[in-house]
Chain A
Amino acid sequence: MLDKKLVEKVIDKALSNGADFAEIFVEDTYNSRIQFNDGKTKQNVIGKDYGAGVRVFYGETAIYAYTNDLSEKSLLSAAEAVSKAAKGNNIIKPIDLTKMEFENIHPISIPNNTVAKSDKIDFMRKVNAASRNYNDNISQVDINFTERIQKVMIANSEGLWAEDSRNYTRVGVTSIASSGNEKQSAGVGPGGHIGYEFINSLNPVELGEQTAKIAAIMLKADYAPSGKFPVVIDNGFGGVIFHEACGHSLETTAIAKGASVFCGKMDQQIANPVVTALDDGTLPNAWGSENIDDEGMPTQKTILIQDGILKSYMVDKMGSIKTGYARTGSGRRQSYKFAPASRMRNTYIANGTNKLEDIISSVDYGIYAKKMGGGSVMPGTGNFNFAVSEGYIIRNGKIAEPVRGATLIGNGADALMKISMIGNNLEQAQGMCGSVSGSIPTNVGQPAIKIDEILVGGRK
Chain B
Amino acid sequence: MYKNEFKIIFDYAKDKTDDIEILLSAGNSFSIRINEQNIESFSYADSKGLSVRVIKDGKTGYAYTEKFDEEAFKLIVDEALENAKYTEDDEVAIMENHPDIDVELKMYDEKLNEVDVKDKISFAKDLEKYAKAADKRVFNVPYAVYGDSTGYVKIANSKGLDKEEKQNSAFSYVGALTQLDDDKRMGVEFNVGRDFSKFDAKKMAEKSVEKSAALLGGEEVTSGSYPVVFNNEMMATMLSTFSGVFSAKAVQEGRSMLVGKMGQMVANEKVSILDDALHPKGISSRRFDSEGYSSQSTVLIENGKLKSFLHNTQTALKDGVKSTGNGSRSYKGSLNIATSNFILKPGTHKESELLAAKDKVIEIVALQGMHSGANPISGDFSLSGEGFLYENGERKHSLKQFTVSGNFLQMLNDVEMIADNFKFNMSSYGAASVLIKELAISG
A residues with a Cβ closer than 8 A to B are 28, 31, 34-35, 37-38, 40-51, 59-69, 74, 78, 81-82, 85-86, 117-118, 121, 139-140, 176, 178, 181-185, 223, 226-227, 257-259, 337, 339, 373-376, 378-381, 383, 385-387, 404-407, 409, 455-460
Contact = CB atoms under 8 A, between A and B. Distances in A.
Contacts of A34: 86
A140 B254 CA distance: 7
Interface in B394-413: 401-406
Interface string B307-342: 000000000000000000000000111110000000
A380 B43 contact: no
A43 B186 contact: no
Contacts of A380: 140, 142, 177, 184, 186
A67 B46 CA distance: 5
The DSSP consensus for interface residues of chain A is strand
Contacts of B401: 383, 409, 455
B4 interface: no
B369 interface: yes
B328 to A, nearest CB: 13
Interface string B125-152: 0000000000000001010000000000
Contacts of B82: 117
B154 interface: no
B353 to A, nearest CB: 28
B228 to A, nearest CB: 14
Contacts, number: 236
Given A42-B89, A380-B177, A139 B405 contact: no
A183 B377 contact: yes
A151 to B, nearest CB: 13
Given A259-B140, A455-B442, A50 B65 contact: yes
A85 B373 contact: no
Nearest to B380: A405
Given A51-B47, A176-B377, A183-B378, A385 B383 contact: yes
Interface in B36-68: 38-49, 51, 60-68
Given A45-B83, A51-B47, A64-B44, A378 B68 contact: no
B384 A385 contact: yes
Given A61-B38, A339-B43, A409-B403, A45 B332 contact: yes
Interface of B: 35, 38-49, 51, 60-68, 72, 76, 79-80, 82-84, 86-90, 117, 140, 142, 177, 184-186, 223, 253-255, 257, 331-335, 368-373, 375, 377-378, 380, 382-384, 401-406, 440, 442-443
30 contacts: A38-B253, A40-B90, A41-B89, A46-B83, A47-B65, A47-B332, A60-B40, A61-B40, A63-B42, A64-B42, A64-B44, A67-B47, A68-B49, A68-B66, A74-B46, A78-B46, A117-B82, A259-B142, A339-B43, A375-B369, A376-B369, A381-B186, A383-B368, A385-B369, A409-B384, A455-B403, A455-B442, A457-B404, A458-B382, A459-B382
A117 B142 CA distance: 47
A378 B384 CA distance: 11
A7 B328 CA distance: 38
A227 B45 contact: no
Given A381-B185, A387-B373, A407-B372, A66 B45 contact: yes
A140 B76 CA distance: 31
Nearest to B401: A383
Given A42-B88, A47-B76, 8 more contacts: A40-B90, A45-B63, A47-B66, A63-B42, A68-B68, A178-B254, A184-B375, A373-B372
A68 B443 CA distance: 50
B46 A66 contact: yes
